[in-house]
Every structure is written in structure tokens, then in C-alpha cells.
Amino acid sequence: MSLALARVREFLEEYGERAALVLKAALQVTDKYRAEGKNALGDFDYKGLTQTLKLMGVEYKPSLLLSKLEKEYGIIETTYKSGNQHWWRFVEEDAVREALEEEDEVEDPKLVMLKVQAAALGLEEIKGKLKLLLSKKRLSASDKKWFRNFAFETLPLVAKLAQEVVEEGYEDPELLEALRVLKLSLKVASKLKSKVPLDLPSLEVEE
């Protein structure tokens, strides 16, 4: 992977959808000027960029992001600037196009859903808590209460996610954490076996 592509990816990751829209609009202006054979002072200008953003339904002044693109990431550079004009050129145009194409690739919708669910469950945090419980010689009352709540409230959701991951054959590291959480949960349960009092109501059984 080129350094230029890495910088564009970093910029997109840091500034999200607005960053992608600004770069897409800048490329549209660039392509438009080239197609028209315009005697341009660079690849794109501020006026053309803002007009294109408006056509895209974006009411946003791109000045800040343009400054970041140029001064912090070196993705564009000024080719001409006056009182009422500002033009830039792409330093590595191919890297920008490649990064945006990656952004536009449609991922498996079910995979996306499972990743979102995994993030919402906070699997890393849960795994850390379970490891902490396993490392203790003796669990406190609050530890046992946490595990009981976890077992009946969160664990069923983790199990459902893990089952989907296994059935679909996904090997994404984020999703495989659900299986690791299940294994750790079982170890904690074994540790607590016959030591966790269950607050069950007394039942009379007729013989």
C-alpha cells in the first residue's frame, strides 16, 4: 500500500462522511473541467467545489477540511490563490480515487449487521471482565451479582451472535470474539458451580 493511499484512508477515517463528500465533489469538478477542456489553474477550485456540494445536497463550507487535506495530510496542494479564487491540484489523484472506491464497496449486509451488534455488546469489555473474574481466587458478592445479570441478560445475545457467526462461517476477528466470550463464560460458570446461591422461591412438590 502506498503512503499516499494510507494518508487518504486516514483522512477518511478521521473525518468520516463529510471528508468523503468533499473529495468526491473535488473529483467531480476535476473531471468536469477536463471534459470541458477548461483552461484551469489547477484540478479544482473553491467555487466549483462548493457549487458541486450544493448540487449533492450538502450545505457545508469545506474550508476547514481543505486546509486539513493540504497542510496535515498533503493530499492536495495550492496551485493558485488570489482575492477571489483558490485552486488546488491532487498530489496523488489515483490514491484518492482508489480510497473512495474502497469506501463505496458494499459489504455483506448481514456481516455489517453482526459487526454492529458485536460493537454494541462491547465484547472486548465483557471478555476483560470475565478474565478478571477467572484471575480472582475468591469472587465477591458484587462479582457474583454481575455474572448472574450477565448470564441472563447479555449472554443470550452473545450466544445468538456466536451462532450466526458459526452458521455463516465468518472468520472476522471482531465476530470471533463472541465465541471467546462464550468459552470464558463457561469457565467462570465452572468456577462458580455449587458456590453461587440461587435466590429461588421455595416450592412444595406433591408426592
Can you tell me which residue has the cell 470475565? 130
pLDDT at 203: 43
| CA atoms of 152 and 80, how far apart (whole Å) | 64
**Alpha carbon distances (Å) from 130 to 142, 188, 190:** 13, 7, 12
3-state helix, strand, coil in the chain (%, to 5): 70, 5, 25
Q: Hey, what CATH class is 3-104 in?
A: mainly alpha
pLDDT at 202: 47
Instruction: Assess contact for 118 and 174: CB atoms under 8 A.
Output: yes
pLDDT at 195: 57
pLDDT at 104: 67
Query: Domain limits of the chain?
Result: 3-104, 109-192
pLDDT, mean of each 10-residue run, the chain (207 residues): 87 90 96 92 96 87 95 96 96 94 72 88 94 92 94 96 92 87 94 60 46
Instruction: Assess contact for 62 and 76: CB atoms under 8 A.
Output: no
| CA atoms of 95 and 21, how far apart (whole Å) | 16
pLDDT at 194: 52
